[in-house]
Amino acid sequence: MHRTKVRVVEDALDANNTIARANRDDFDREGVTVVNLMSAPGAGKTSLLEAAFRAGVADELRVGVLEGDVQGSFDADRLAHLHVPVTQLNTGGGFGGECHLDANMVRSALPEVPLADLDLLVIENVGNLVCPAEFRVGEDVKAMVCSVTEGEDKPLKYPLMFRSCELVVINKIDLLPHLDYDLEAFQANLERVNPDARQLLVSARGGEGVEEWCRWLTGTVERAAAAA
């Protein structure tokens, strides 16, 4: 029974990876760089995107967002007000909805995404620190947001998520004076899990680090273009 269960999981991931490669072929064909942006619920993914768009990233790049949510269009509505093309992808239905986006969900939404008009597509994944890290969607890079309100031990409790990412944005640093939070301990835990991850200290609300976040987004597109 145990071996059967493992086989099912392997088959599911193999099927997902096949579809992810098809997605990636479509992205490459259109010259679109794709960032899979992940986090726990409430870490600030949407706020960071809003901050980047207000800071002018959408003036330098043709940017679109594929918004993954269990229900509703709250985050998509916030981004659409900034005149960025947003495609909503809800996973709701059945028992509450899926806790992540997989490659097939993304593929089902691609007909609504204007790939030919984009340089960068940000896939804002469902808020969850477990499942999104396991499923490729055809992205060039994975990045995640971890807010200082989540505690210093998150890299040790959810190592796959932190290990899978090229970039970890440490958000809400404006709250540090008001929290019993050891930033150095968090960074040490992150380095234990993923010593190669780039770290950005950011406050989407206060603006600290937003310029560097924008440079990372534009640089990711430049690196992908140079490698093509």
Give the tens place of pLDDT for each residue, 131-172.
Answer: 999 999 999 999 999 999 999 999 999 999 999 999 999 999
How far out from the chain centre does Cα 128 lie? 11
Categorise residue 151: left if φ over 0, alpha if ψ from -120 to 50, beta otherwise: left
Taking the complete model, does pTM exceed 0.85, yes or no?
A: yes
Angle CA 221–40–126, to nearest 5: 65
Alpha carbon distance 88, 114 (integer Å): 13
Q: Which two tokens stand for residue 17?
A: 């990876």
Contact predicate 82/54, CB 8 Å: yes
Q: Do the Cβ atoms of 148 and 48 come closer than 8 Å?
A: no
Residues in the chain, overall count: 228
How many CA atoms lie within 13 Å of 51's alpha carbon, on the beta-carbon side?
22
- Helices 210-227 and 45-54 cross at an angle (nearest 10°) of 80
Domain count, the chain: 1
Q: How far apart are the C-alpha atoms of 49 and 55, rounded to whole Å?
A: 10
> Per-residue pLDDT for the chain (228 aa), expressed as one digit of tens each?
444 444 545 667 889 999 999 999 999 999 999 999 999 999 999 999 999 999 999 999 999 999 998 888 899 999 999 999 999 998 765 445 678 999 999 999 999 999 999 999 999 999 999 999 999 999 999 999 999 999 999 999 999 999 999 999 999 999 999 999 999 999 999 999 999 999 999 999 999 999 999 999 999 999 999 987
Q: How many Cα atoms within 13 Å fall on the side-chain side of residue 139?
A: 27
Domain that holds residue 172: 2-227
* Dihedral in degrees, nearest 10, Cα atoms 176, 182, 187, 191: -160
Which CATH number covers residue 49? Answer: 3.40.50.300
Phi-psi region of 147 (alpha: psi -120 to 50; beta: other; left: phi over 0): beta
